[in-house]
Chains A and B, each alone.
Chain A
């Protein structure tokens, strides 16, 4: 193929106005202007920052991460002592943030489905109750929810008159106390069995799908898979002689000792996050279900599918396509909003690292950058998962 000669014979005779009005030259010019402006701004900020740091006698760099933080953290899911380093504080903060967001995600997703389905109920009272809940909760700022539930939870009884459930769970104004599982010898075998069960269930599902596509015969892959996932570890667990005991919390002196516990701030934060985000999950569910046209249901009935199959094979798969994307971005919002924990003193990443550590060490730039990097990692991971899901379920057209 002949190479097209872009520089035609008239190239040299172009007048100035032709060059000015040429889109290509213009766009290059604009880009150079923007690039110079950005570089100038970055340079300006950099010189100012170094001048400021010098004036305050501070040095930049991540060396401070290995020095002792020297403050204690009210509560953490992983071990932390007052003598640990700033980097340990960072990890503790991340663990605490992820813990509360994970539980809140599970709770709000579950209740979101409940409320979303309730709003579509044919029962007038049920639907109105759900929509009233949605309207009230979503029009009040999350921070107010958190402060409100934290204030209200201060009125819980004192430890010696705790609310009890089965003599194992205790709720009082210090927090929630639960039995802690203590794994014995051979418990790891049961865990391995559980992982193995999941793999086997996956293989069965793939096989069943292949067989159905080939022969049209259906295999109850879901129930068999569930039986394998739960059955296998239970069998191993029983064979090994139930190597799991529980450490119960007990009232000793003024408070409960032993067991596992979460502070009141955790409970209030979790409750507020769940109450608030349930609304957005519910809206996603409602919109998703409404997005499946009624014709789909009718077509499915016309093919002779029974109502339960219609729901499971026709309506839900199509609704999920519209439900999942907003739901996943809500999960991301839960993680981001858990940073409001700082208002009630739950030691999450922002509270322990961006506030306490920053105030103590003064390394503002490094600490802000690290915290932002964490949140960006989480949100980029979640949006990558979302893109993958979208690609998976998008309608494949001819």
Chain B
């Protein structure tokens, strides 16, 4: 066959002609995406005009006509006739908007607590670190005690001191774990067993080695923390972004566990539990948050014994927790409904009991599916926290409003609101982008392959 073929008879196509110049490059892109048709062109020009107008006004207001140094709002108005922003006021009020009336010399405690929290959570982003669930659980369960000690100060009970010590030991352990994971490629537990020479002994001994180290660490931490002397800061002076983060942080942290329990209760086969959970969820979801907050501050004092009179903040936090749990319950329920019945049956066939089936088989899948919705409700809660300003808690929004009522800064309303809005925008935007990222990385494993 091959010898009969003549190589010079092979067909050589001419190279294809280049595409017309107006369909490639910038011009081609513009013709395709901006001026596809007459209507498209008109829309493009209209939108361009709108964008330029808005950008120009925003730039004029925020930068070109803005005043950066002034001592009162009057002074700002004299300089720019109200044509631009008065950012000078923001620098004056910045501290109040961040910390409320928290005393200046004690504010480092707040910063320290938030830095600690971030440092505690940071190993989540380190790919080589194992046991991320343990890291998360240690933070969620013990950090609140450490934070309470830092925020409140003053004398605390022995139990609280013990929990603070546990928190300190666990925090240090987490970072030692990060260190050993990256330097030696082993977990902190293995390293401890290794240096004490128990590595080749029975596994049960390993646990005792861990306990021993933990006990030594606990004693040291307890002695260390008993030397702390923090001035007491009553919660009535808490305020600003700090207060917003405290309320929404507690709400977010409690939402998931409570929501999971409520969702399981609503899907339970036991009628009493189901009716109770369903009516709780429906009640809290059908009324606005502001009515729940009003209920908390007006009715909770009536519900409690006469001699107990909790501060407003505590009542508000309870209300926010109940509210967020009800919303989270519906999100979790939607996730549970999406799980194939076969998964439940397979888990039962493996001999798992109810809680093991939920914890090991069903919940991981359901929660993974619902990541966007869960983060969505976290964002919603974060935004809803601003409502506490209506019932008179000095969160960042009420501090922003208070700025305009100060005699020197009378009428200084718009800038603090814009500043606050940009804060929320940054926080919420980052959260939603991060949830999209999570959805792609860990949520993507679910579904048909």
Q: Chain A residues in contact with chain B, CB under 8 A?
A: 27, 30-31, 34-35, 38, 45, 48-49, 51-53, 55, 121-126, 129, 135-136, 138-144, 147-148, 151-152, 336-337, 339-340, 342-343, 350, 354-355, 358, 364-365, 368, 371-372, 375-376, 378-380
| B33 engages A144 (CB within 8 Å) | no
Instruction: Give A117 Cβ to nearest chain B Cβ, in Å.
Output: 12
In the bound complex, CA of A58 to CA of B36 (Å): 73
State the Cβ distance, B368 to closest chain A Cβ, in Å.
20
- Give A130's nearest chain B residue, CB to CB: B47
Chain A residues with CB under 8 Å of B379's CB are 139
- A372-B287 CB under 8 A given contacts A52-B306, A126-B43: yes
Question: Quick one: closest A residue to B298, CB to CB?
Answer: A364
Chain B's interface: helix, strand, loop or mixed, by majority?
A: helix
Does B414 contact A139, Cβ atoms closer than 8 Å?
Answer: no
Most chain B beta-carbon contacts within 10 A, residue among A45, A49, A368, A376: A368
Q: A49-B302, A139-B428, A354-B294 are in contact. Are A151 and B43 (CB under 8 A)?
A: no
Using known A-B contacts A30-B273, A31-B271, A136-B425, determine if residue A151 contacts B303 with beta carbons closer than 8 Å. no
Contact A27-B269, Cβ < 8 Å, known A144-B420, A339-B291, A350-B288: yes
CB <8 Å contact, A368 and B299: yes
Question: Of A31, A45, A371, which contacts B270 at CB under 8 A?
Answer: A31
A129 touches B272 (CB 8 A): no
Pair A124/B34 contact, Cβ less than 8 Å: yes
How many angstroms from the CA of A234 to the CA of B40 in the assembled complex?
38
Contact in complex: A143, B51 (CB < 8 Å) = no
Q: Chain B interface: which size bin?
A: 35 or more
Measured in the bound complex, the distance between the Cα atoms of B295 and A339 in whole Å is: 14
Given A139-B432, A140-B421, A140-B425, residue A151 in contact with residue B414 (CB < 8 A): yes
Interface string of B387-424 (1 = CB under 8 A from A): 10110000001000100000000000110011011001
Can you report 25 A-B residue pairs in the complex whose CB atoms are below 8 A from each other? A27-B270, A34-B276, A48-B304, A51-B306, A52-B301, A53-B302, A121-B43, A123-B40, A124-B34, A125-B47, A125-B48, A129-B47, A139-B424, A139-B428, A141-B421, A143-B390, A144-B421, A148-B417, A336-B287, A350-B290, A354-B291, A368-B299, A371-B287, A371-B291, A375-B286
Residues B273 and A31 in contact, CB atoms below 8 Å apart: yes
Give the complex CA separation of A371 and B292 in angstroms. Answer: 10
A148 vs B414: C-alpha distance when bound (angstroms): 7
B389 touches A143 (CB 8 A): yes
Tell me whether B44 and A126 are in contact (CB under 8 A). Answer: yes
Contact mask for chain B residues 244-277; partner A; CB cutoff 8 A; 1 contact, 0 none = 0000000000000000000000000111110010
User: Are B44 and A147 in touch, CB under 8 angstroms?
Assistant: no
Q: Report B-chain residues with C-beta under 8 Å of the C-beta of A375.
A: 286-288, 291
Distance A31 CA – B413 CA, assembled complex (angstroms): 55
A368 to B290, CA, bound (A): 11
Q: Are A143 and B387 in contact (CB under 8 A)?
A: yes
Min distance, Cβ B247 to any Cβ of chain A, angstroms = 13
For B421, the chain A residues whose CB sits under 8 A away are 140-141, 144, 148
A358 touches B288 (CB 8 A): no
- Check if A35 sits within 8 Å of B417, measured CB to CB: no
Interface hub of A38, A141, A378 (most chain B Cβ within 10 A): A141
Quick check: is B138 within 8 A (CB to CB) of the other chain?
Answer: no
Are A34 and B273 in contact, CB atoms less than 8 angstroms apart?
yes
Which chain B residues border A122 with CB–CB below 8 Å? 33, 36, 40
Q: Which residues of A contact B384 (CB under 8 A)?
A: 141
Q: Please tell me if the beta carbons of A55 and B290 are within 8 angstroms of each other in the complex.
A: no
- The smallest C-beta distance from B230 to any residue of chain A, in angstroms, reads 32
Tell me if B101 is interfacial: C-beta within 8 Å of chain A: no
B353 → chain A closest CB, angstroms: 11
How near does chain B come to A57, taking the closest CB pair, in angstroms?
13
Nearest Cβ on chain B to A326's Cβ, whole angstroms: 12
Query: Judging by beta carbons under 8 Å apart, are A340 and B273 in contact?
Result: no
Minimum-distance CB pairs A-B, first 9: A379-B286, A141-B383, A124-B33, A139-B428, A31-B272, A336-B288, A339-B288, A364-B298, A375-B287
Residues of A within 8 A of B295 (CB): 368, 372
Query: How many angstroms from the CA of A355 to the CA of B295 in the assembled complex?
Result: 11
Given contacts A49-B303, A144-B397, A364-B298, contact A339 B414 (CB under 8 A): no
CB-CB < 8 A to B282: which residues of A? 376
Chain B CB count within 10 A is highest, among A342, A358, A378, for A342
Contact between chains at A147 and B397 (CB < 8 Å): yes
When distances are taken between beta carbons in the complex, the residues of chain B under 8 Å from A364 are 298-299, 302
> Residue B283 at the A interface, CB < 8 A?
yes
Which residues of B are found within 8 Å of A371, using beta-carbon distances? 287, 291
Determine whether the beta carbon of B305 is less than 8 Å from that of A51.
yes
Nearest B-chain residue to A49, judged by Cβ: B302
> Which among A139, A140, A337, A365 is the interface contact of B302 at CB below 8 angstroms?
A365
Question: Closest CB of chain A to B24's CB: distance in Å?
Answer: 16
Taking a contact as CB atoms closer than 8 A, the residue among A45, A151, A336, A337 that contacts B413 in the complex is A151
Q: A122-B36, A125-B47 are in contact. Are A350 and B389 (CB under 8 A)?
A: no
A142, B382: Cα distance in complex, Å: 11
Bound complex: CA of A231 vs CA of B305, how far in Å?
Answer: 67
Q: Shortest beta-carbon distance, A393 to chain B, in Å?
A: 19
